[in-house]
């Protein structure tokens, strides 16, 4: 396997072998060998900011209006039936590339990441902050099931608190299920566990009934994370295909965007919109314009490192001109 360690050992052994054979390396050759050795080591991350994004507040957190989505970093791309894309993403977004991506995001003013409790990703976050000097804030959703294993849920929250999480939320997949089952008590319990650790604690959902239930039943969420995108893209579902809350094929994650607009306009808690590009089907300018114009306070955006600079530029232009007629800023 061609690892940095193996390359360094190869260079060292080659130099030793040459010396033992009576070969004298010139200064230039020695310098080149040293340079190759240094290139095998991780380069320092450039964390000097080049500009700021507008921000809003979630609790005491100052959060950039564009947040970095974690799905590409955990290799879950929502690439519909294009299965090779998952493998491609896994090979591209190595641990080192994930840290580079967060560094690029920070440099361009994106100060918060939203991600699941994937163990390998949690270790990368810990390394990035505690060993590489990263300042990226983390909003993390535990994936333990709070109703079936409340102790496991609390333990998972404690683990991410210990590595430095800044806010948590009830995973949307879980909240969808609990809402359909009428288990509001479990939703309340999840939010309150976050509060016990002194964190902003929210609720996510694909199903609009999650938000409606939280508002009607007094679930003490500090913020919501709700899917939101229009259906004006070539692979969007036909009306007869809108049979579930969300589907991978055809790809949609917001079943009724107008209903979301109607419900959210009276919600006074901060709202992070996610799946705003319908997993890559909607261009960033179109997506950001739609979600901010129709009431979202923040937009989650899954971005590869090479997309961040352009997406942030687009977001800044949109935010300069957007008209908040549907819903005032709530954060």
Is residue 231 a contact partner of residue 257, using CB atoms and an 8 Å limit?
yes
The Cα 241–Cα 256 span in angstroms is 12
The Cα 1–Cα 213 span in angstroms is 53
Q: Which value, to the nearest 10 degrees, does the dihedral of the CA atoms of residues 188, 68, 330, 270 take? A: 0
Handedness of CA 13, 14, 20, 24 (dihedral sign): negative
What's residue 3's pLDDT? Answer: 44
Is residue 293 a contact partner of residue 323, using CB atoms and an 8 Å limit?
yes
What's residue 46's pLDDT? Answer: 56
Residue 143 vs residues 9, 45, 148, 149: alpha-carbon distances, Å: 41, 30, 12, 11
The Cα 313–Cα 298 span in angstroms is 16
Pick the CATH number of 55-321 from 3.20.20.70, 1.10.1060.10, 3.30.70.260, 3.40.50.1580: 3.20.20.70
The Cα 165–Cα 89 span in angstroms is 25
Q: Residue-wise over 271-304: b if at least 16 C-beta within 10 A, else e?
A: bbbbbbbbbbbbebebbbbbbbbbbbbbbbbbbe
pLDDT tens sequence for the chain (331 residues): 444 444 334 333 433 343 333 333 344 444 443 433 433 334 445 555 556 899 999 999 999 999 999 888 877 777 777 888 878 888 998 999 999 999 999 999 999 999 988 888 899 999 999 999 999 999 999 999 999 999 999 999 999 999 999 999 999 999 999 999 999 999 999 999 999 999 999 999 999 999 999 999 999 999 999 999 999 999 999 999 999 999 999 999 999 999 999 999 999 999 999 999 999 999 999 999 999 999 999 999 999 999 999 999 999 999 999 999 999 999 9
Q: What is the DSSP letter of 164?
A: T
Residue 235, CB-side half-sphere exposure with 13 Å CA sphere = 16
Handedness of CA 140, 144, 148, 151 (dihedral sign): negative
Is residue 259 a contact partner of residue 212, using CB atoms and an 8 Å limit?
no
The model's pTM: 0.84
Q: Which segments of 40-138 does DSSP mark as H helices, in order? A: 84-92, 95-107, 119-130
How many CB atoms neighbour CB 75 within 10 A?
19
Pull the structure tokens for residue 64.
């950039």
Pull the structure tokens for residue 219.
């679930």
Q: Give which of 297, 170, 169, 155 is closest to 228, Cα–Cα.
A: 297
Q: What residues contact residue 311 under an 8 Å CB cut-off, 6+ apart?
A: 66, 284, 301, 303
Q: Which residue carries 């003490």 as its tokens? A: 220
The Cα 185–Cα 123 span in angstroms is 32
């Amino acid at each position: 396997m061609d690892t940095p360690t193996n390359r360094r050992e190869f260079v060292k052994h080659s130099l030793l072998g040459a010396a033992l054979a009576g070969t004298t390396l010139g200064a230039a050759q020695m310098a080149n060998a040293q340079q190759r050795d240094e290139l095998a080591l991780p380069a320092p991350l450039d964390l000097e900011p080049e500009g700021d994004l507008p921000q809003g507040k979630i609790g005491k957190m100052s959060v950039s209006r564009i947040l970095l989505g974690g799905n590409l970093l955990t290799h879950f791309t929502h690439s519909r039936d294009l299965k090779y894309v998952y493998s491609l993403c896994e090979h591209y977004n190595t641990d080192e590339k994930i840290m580079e991506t967060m560094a690029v995001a920070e440099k361009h003013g994106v100060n918060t990441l939203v991600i699941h409790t994937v163990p390998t990703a949690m270790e990368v976050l810990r390394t990035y902050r505690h060993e590489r000097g990263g300042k990226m804030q983390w909003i993390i959703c535990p994936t333990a099931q709070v109703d079936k294993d409340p102790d496991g849920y609390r333990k998972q929250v404690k683990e991410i608190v210990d590595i430095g999480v800044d806010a948590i939320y009830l995973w949307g997949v879980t909240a969808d299920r609990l809402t359909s089952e009428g288990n509001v008590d479990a939703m309340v319990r999840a939010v309150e566990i976050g509060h016990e650790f002194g964190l902003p604690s929210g609720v996510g959902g694909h199903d609009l009934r999650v938000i409606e239930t939280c508002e009607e039943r007094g679930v003490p969420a500090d913020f919501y994370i709700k899917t939101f995108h229009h259906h004006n893209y070539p692979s969007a579902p036909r009306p007869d295909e809108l049979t579930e809350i969300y589907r991978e094929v055809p790809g949609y994650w917001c079943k009724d965007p107008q209903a979301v607009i109607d419900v959210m306009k009276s919600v006074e808690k901060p709202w992070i919109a996610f799946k705003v590009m319908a997993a890559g089907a909607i261009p960033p300018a179109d997506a950001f314009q739609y979600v901010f114009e129709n009431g979202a306070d923040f937009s989650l955006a899954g971005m590869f490192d090479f997309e961040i600079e352009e997406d942030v530029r687009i977001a800044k232009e949109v935010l300069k001109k957007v008209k908040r007629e549907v819903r005032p800023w709530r954060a």
